[in-house]
Amino acid sequence: MSQTDLTRERLIETYRKKAKRYDITCRLYPAPGYPQREQRLRAVRALRLRPGDTVIDMACGTGLNFPLLEEVVGPGGRIVGVDLTDAMLAQARDRVEKNGWGNISLVQSDAAGFDFPAEVNAILSTYALTQVPECAEVIAYGAKALSGGGRWAVLDLKVPGRTPGWLTQLGTATVRPFASIDDWMMRRPWEAIRVAMQEELADFSWTELFFGTAFLAAGSRDPLA
Ligand SMILES: C[S@@+](CC[C@H](N)C(=O)[O-])C[C@H]1O[C@@H](n2cnc3c(N)ncnc32)[C@H](O)[C@@H]1O
C-alpha cells in the first residue's frame, strides 16, 4: 500500500470514530468559542447562490452546511454532498431524512477522484480541503465543471503568518487526530489552494479570518472561458 493510501485509510478510520459525535465535538474546533458558524455563513454567501441552483458540498462530512445551503437554493435547487468516509455520510443521510429534504444526494468518493457533474452553479468545501493531498487538482477539476460565472468557495484553517505559539496550536488542532501537524504545517496546503484558485478562476478573492487562523478563498469561472 502506498503512503498516500495509508494516510487515506487512517483518515477514514479516524472519521469513522468521530462521526456519531462530530456535530457536538466540532463545536470545539479548533477551540471552544471559535466563530465557525459565522465563517460558514460567509462561505455560503461567497457562493452567491440563487433559488434553483445546484451546489456541490465537497467533503461535506455530516452535512452541517446543508441547512445554510437549503435556505438559499430552496426546494427547486439541488445539493450534492460528497465525502470519503461512509460513517460521516451516514450522519449526513440521517440529517437529510430528519429534515425531509428531497433535493440532496450523497456520494461516497475521494475528492480527488470525484467525477464532477457538468454545469454546476457552485462548489463549496469547508474545513476539509487542506486534508486532501491533491487539493490543487480538486480545485482545477471543479473549476472545469462550473457553469459560466459559477462560484468555488473554500473555507479552511491555516497557520497564521506571524504566529504566537498558542495561535499555531489553535490553527492546527483540527488535524491533530489523523495526521502529523508537522507534515501539515510543512506542506502549507492553503498555499497550494490559493495558487490553484488564482490560476483557475476569475474574480479571485482571499480573506484571512480570525487572526489568520482560517481563510476564505473564492472565485468564479470566467463566463468566456
Ligand atoms: C473536519 S471534517 C469537515 C466536514 C464538513 N465539511 C464540515 O464543514 O463540517 C473533514 C471531512 O473531510 C472528509 N475528507 C477528508 N479527506 C477527503 C477526501 N480526500 N475526499 C473526500 N472527503 C474527504 C472527511 O471524511 C471528513 O468528513
pLDDT tens sequence across 113-129: 999 999 999 999 999 99
- Ligand 1 atom nearest to 12, measured from its CA: 25
pLDDT of residue 173: 59
Ligand 1 centre from 157 Cα, in Å?
A: 13
Best of 12, 84, 95, 175 for a ligand 1 pocket test (most atoms within 8 Å of beta carbon): 84
pLDDT of residue 195: 98
- Residue % of the chain over a pLDDT of 90: 78
Burial class from Cβ neighbours inside 10 Å (0-12, 13-18, 19+) for residue 163 reads middle
Task: List ligand 1's pocket residues with C-beta within 6 A.
Answer: 11, 15, 26, 59-61, 64, 83-85, 88, 110-112, 126-128, 131-132
Residue 174 has pLDDT above 60, yes or no: no
Ligand 1 centre from 83 Cα, in Å?
A: 6
| Region 148-166 average pLDDT | 87
* pLDDT grade for 208, boundaries at 50, 70 and 90: very high
Best of 39, 40, 83, 175 for a ligand 1 pocket test (most atoms within 8 Å of beta carbon): 83
Residue 181 has pLDDT above 50, yes or no: yes
Q: Higher-confidence residue: 33 or 106?
A: 106
Ligand 1 centre from 6 Cα, in Å?
A: 16
Task: Supply the mean pLDDT for the chain.
Answer: 92
pLDDT of residue 178: 46
> How far apart are alpha carbons 10 and 183 in whole angstroms?
15
* pLDDT grade for 28, boundaries at 50, 70 and 90: confident
CB 182 within 8 A of CB 159: no
Residue 182 has pLDDT above 90, yes or no: no
**Strand order across the 146-157 sheet:** 104-108, 78-83, 54-58, 120-126, 146-157, 214-220, 202-209
* All three cell numbers of 110: 475521494
Beta-bridge mates of residue 122: 55, 151
Residue 205 has pLDDT above 80, yes or no: yes
Ligand 1 centre from 52 Cα, in Å?
A: 25
Can you give the C-alpha Rg of the chain in angstroms? 16
pLDDT of residue 156: 96
Beta-bridge mates of residue 180: none
Say which residues have a Cβ less than 8 Å from residue 149's Cβ, sequence separation at least 6. 220, 221, 223
Residue 166 has pLDDT above 80, yes or no: no
Which of 93, 103, 104, 88 has its CA nearest to residue 26? 88
Ligand 1 centre from 130 Cα, in Å?
A: 9
pLDDT of residue 162: 72
Ligand 1 centre from 59 Cα, in Å?
A: 4
